[in-house]
Structures are given as C-alpha cells and as structure tokens.
Amino acid sequence: DAGITQSPRHKVTETGTPVTLRCHQTENHRYMYWYRQDPGHGLRLIHYSYGVKDTDKGEVSDGYSVSRSKTEDFLLTLESATSSQTSVYFCAISAGDVDQPQHFGDGTRLSIL
C-alpha cells in the first residue's frame, strides 16, 4: 500500500468552527490531492498541489483552503465549517500529473452538526 496517512480518521464538530485535516505521505511524490466523497456524486476534487507551496483549485473548492509547506504534508482547512461540508475526505498522491496513477488514503469521516 502507498504510504499515505490521514488524520484524524473521524471528527465531529459544530457549525462555524475551524477544522484542519492532515495528509502525510512517505513516498516523496510531487502531487497531492484532496477529494470529498458524497452519495450520488462519486469523488470530487477540492484542491491539489503540484509542489511545495504550489496549489490550485479543483471542482468544489469554495469554503476550503490548503497548504503545503513540506513535500510530505498537505493540509485541508475548513475556515468556518458548515453542515454541507459533512462528508468523507480522501487524500491522494501521484508521482506525476500526466497519465500517472493516483493512490488514495483511507479517508477522514467529518460530521458537522
């Protein structure tokens, strides 16, 4: 299995609070991604990173920010969580952007009450 660790694995929080999810990789891959998974929608890309301090938006980026200060860590922040952000969040890594497989972590289940 690809060396990807997501933390926490489960979190319950209240509307309006800030939340940060962490993705840590041991593969030294350049590309890292954050997806959310919701019933009926499959997985949708939130943000991605193509190097340290280099990030870009995905399909559903509103309400989320990311940071990557080290190759191995990619953080996803919800500045002020809303109930619509209740979801399962997955991190993925890839060695390249063109035709390269993405490998996923086991996810963080986030519930916002």
Partner 1 sequence: GENVEQHPSTLSVQEGDSAVIKCTYSDSASNYFPWYKQELGKGPQLIIDIRSNVGEKKDQRIAVTLNKTAKHFSLHITETQPEDSAVYFCAASMWGKLVFGTGTRLLVSP
Q: Which residues bind partner 1 (CB under 8 A)?
A: 4, 31, 33, 40-45, 48, 58-59, 90, 94, 96-107
Cβ 90 vs Cβ 72: under 8 Å: no
Output the CA–CA distances (angstroms, integers) from residue 92 to 15, 63, 80, 82, in the order listed. 26, 20, 24, 24
Q: Are 110 and 21 in contact (CB under 8 A)?
A: yes
Indicate the residue among 66 and 79 with the shorter CB distance to partner 1.
66
What is the closest distance, in whole angstroms, from the C-beta atom of residue 92 to partner 1 in the complex?
8
Shortest reach from residue 97's CB to partner 1, in Å? 3
Q: How far is the CB of 63 from partner 1 (least distance, A)?
A: 19
